[in-house]
Homo-oligomer: A and B are copies of this chain.
Amino acid sequence: MISSDVIRGYNDTLILYMLLERDSYGYEISKNIRTLSEEKYIMKETTLYSAFTRLEKNGYIHSFFKEEESFGKRRTYYRITPEGLMYYREKCAEWQVTQEVVNKFIKEL
């Protein structure tokens, strides 16, 4: 299991990755992250939804309702914006640097 402080600052990136292929909503994204990480990382609900708020405020995603399911379950779907894509790319680049740097401080003992 991964501690939250480790992945902190990358939750947004994981969410954006999930939106690259297609629009999605909270629960689905949550499950997909869980599956893709092979159960090694489970994002808390509150973390997920507060990330949505932040991402939308920053213009990286935008929310909408699907018309074909307008009654009943009331799912909020999210779509990544061009700014979100740019941000995702930056975070990916940053991640490469981070890996290089942190690996200099890792020693097998």
Contacts and interface: CB of A to CB of B under 8 A. Distances in A.
A31 interface: no
A17 B104 CA distance: 9
A94 B9 CA distance: 16
Contacts of A6: 9-10, 94-95, 98
A4 B94 CA distance: 11
Copies of chain A in the complex: 2
A92 B107 contact: yes
Interface size grouping (class) on chain A: 35 or more
Contacts of A88: 109
Contacts of A41: 101
B8 A8 contact: yes
19 contacts: A2-B97, A2-B98, A6-B9, A6-B94, A8-B8, A10-B102, A13-B102, A13-B106, A17-B105, A17-B106, A17-B107, A20-B109, A36-B105, A40-B100, A89-B109, A92-B106, A92-B108, A95-B102, A99-B99
